[in-house]
Amino acid sequence: MSKRHVLQICLLNLRSRVLQPNTPYRVLAVQSSIYAGGLFYSISNITDSCIGVLQSFLSTSTPRELGLFKTSRLLLARMLIYIHQQFVLDAITETSPSQNLPVNLVHLPDLETMDGILAVLSLINIAELANVLHPDTYQAGVDPEERMFLMHVRMQGRGLLQWLDSHYTLEPAARTGAIVSTTQALPLVHLYLIHQACALQEAKMSMEKARIQSSIPGLTYQSLYLQIVRCLGPKATKIPGHFRTFAWDKETHRVSRHNIPLLTQFGTCTFTHLPNFVFE
C-alpha cells in the first residue's frame, strides 16, 4: 500500500473483470499472452469516467491507449446525444415519451440531485473541450468531417443546458461560517468548465516541471494553453484559485426545480457558454 493508492493483486483465472473509473492497472502473465480490454460506461459513475478522460489525455499513452481514448470520446458523445434526446426532444415535439423516444430512467441522470447535474455537466465539459482534448489538434488538425460531428455534439450539449436552465435552478449552497469565493458568483455551468480547464493546465505544467513528456506530438503547456484560450477566452484562464483536481465538491451548490418551466419551446440554441459579462 502506498500513501496515495491501495495496491491490489487480482488473480483473473481466465475471467473478465470490470474496473471502476480511473483505476490504473497492469496485467502480468506467467507466459506470453494476449489480453483484451474495452470500455464500459454507466451514467451512475460517468462523472468519474469523464475525469478519467481528462487524466488519460495528459498521461503517457501507448498507441493502443490513444485508440481507446478516441473510442471513449465517441461513447461519451453518444451518451450526451441520448440524454439530449430523452429530455429535450420531447419538449420540442410536445409529445409524451411513449409517442417519441422510450425514456428509461435507469439510464438517465436524476437531475434533482447534484450527482445527476454534475454527470450531465461533466459530459458537456468534454464536448466543450473536444478540440482541446483531441490529439490531432496539436499535429495536422482535426479531420473536417470529425470536426463537424464534434460541433454537432457541442450544440446538443448547449441545447441541453438551455433546457436545464428552463427547468432547474442551481445556486450556491449557504454554509455557516464559510468564506464564499468571488468566483461563486459565476454560474456553476461556467465555473465547473473553467475549473476543469484550469486543472488541465496546472496538471500539464506539473508534468513539464517533472520532465514528463507527452506521447502526443506537439502537446506542450503552451500549445494546450493556446487551445484553451481559443475555446474559453483569455479571461477564463485568469480565474484565481488552486486547480489541483478535476473533481468538484457537489456540496457547494444545490438544485431545485421550477414549478413551471421558463420556456416550453427549444429551437436553435443561441447559448454562449462563456459570455464576456460573466467575468466583468
**Per-residue pLDDT tens for 108-154?**
898 989 999 999 999 999 999 999 999 899 988 899 999 999 999 99
Q: Taking a C-beta distance cutoff of 8 angstroms, is the pair 84, 160 a contact?
A: yes
Question: Can you tell me whether residue 266 is helix, strand or coil?
Answer: coil
Residue 244 domain-assigned (yes or no): yes
Residue 132 domain-assigned (yes or no): yes
Looking up cell 490531432 gives: 136
Q: Taking a C-beta distance cutoff of 8 angstroms, is the pair 35, 27 a contact?
A: yes
Residue 32 domain-assigned (yes or no): no
Residue 13 domain-assigned (yes or no): no
Residue 253 domain-assigned (yes or no): yes
Q: Taking a C-beta distance cutoff of 8 angstroms, is the pair 192, 121 a contact?
A: yes
- The CB-based long-range contact list for 110-116 (8 Å cut-off, 24+ gap) reads 111/87, 111/164, 111/167, 111/168, 111/255, 111/257, 112/168, 112/255, 112/257, 113/255, 114/250, 114/251, 114/253, 114/254, 114/255, 115/47, 115/250
Residue 33 domain-assigned (yes or no): no
Domain count across the chain: 1
Residue 9 domain-assigned (yes or no): no
Residue 152 domain-assigned (yes or no): yes
Question: Which of 111, 123, 121, 122 is CA-nearest to residue 256?
Answer: 111
Domain that holds residue 198: 43-279
Q: Report the pLDDT value the prediction gives residue 144, as an integer from 0 to 100.
A: 92
Question: Can you tell me whether residue 46 is helix, strand or coil?
Answer: helix
Give the whole-angstrom CA distance, residue 48 versus residue 53: 9
- Model confidence pLDDT, tens digit, residues 155-195: 999 989 988 888 888 888 865 444 344 444 568 888 899 99
